Structure 1
Amino acid sequence: MSKENCEKKFKRIYAQYVDEIYQYVFLRTGINVGIAEDLTQEIFLDVFKGLSRFKGLCSERTWVYKITKNKVNDFYRKQYRHLEPIPLEDDLTVEISDPKQDMDTLVEKTFSSADIIDCLNQLPEHYKLVLLLKYIDDRSVKEIATITNKSPKAVENILLRARAGFIKVYQTLKAEEIR
């Protein structure tokens, strides 16, 4: 493929998918505009670099999303590698371990509200990442463990603390709204 044809094809792919890819990345990187913009730029740089090697064995959209998912996974790994867990021991942690409560449902419902961004942004970064992986990206504990280089048991514990932290922030936010 000539350089001119490659550039035309890239411009078409970019125009067709940039908004969709940006939204995908935005939701999976902590709802952070700067990170989403940078990562989207890196994704399309990889698309441009790999365009001459694209054989057409799948659709362009599938190919672009494969690059995107790999970049997002790399982002998760880099972010998570530098974070340390923060102990969260209080009454809320004990409540969460109560099997009668369905915290997954509460967290999922809360994710659909407008307060999600505020709640997530108040959490430590590694809690935010595991919650995004679990509830936005719909990853299993085993997949999260692979991405974060942790054991599944460690991921379960981190998710437990992350949910507790999220719920605590959410409850505080709602209590402030009532006042």
Structure 2
Amino acid sequence: MDQTVDVGSDLKRALRGLAASVVIVATADESGKRYAMAATAVTPVSMDPPSMLMCVNRNASSHPVLFTGTDFSLNVLAADQMDVAKLCGGAAKGDERFAAGGWTLADNGIPYLADAQAVIHCTQRERFSYGSHDIFIGDVHRVILARDIDPMLYVDGQFRRIGAIL
């Protein structure tokens, strides 16, 4: 009997169990127009040099701006920042995504969420294409630790927070 295996569907189901912190990727174009999107495909690359990696779908509204090589901020949301997560996760478009939270601009014009749990400012260094996404690597040039560690997590299609310590 010939069984067709749908690896893509199986992978999506498997990844529903991979808890990840919710991060808002923010950037701006040359005119100062701001862009923000929620992401969970964000991870450190190296501590020497300090660097971060993020994967962005080419259909994302911020992709064309990031593709130009602009810098970006990675804003790690705290568990009580659901309003920001929802706006940047698709409930709003364009500048409406900045309607919640304490957004401000860094010296280089890149927006960041001053009341995030943590903010990682990156200078874009590399970009690679793979499948439907581009992989962006940024060198970390500044980190702001603004709150106690209580991250918003995304797992099994829902926002959660960390439970008891095991």
TM-score (norm 1): 0.22
From the CA coordinates, give the structure whose radius of gyration is larger. 1
Structure with the bigger percentage of helix: 1
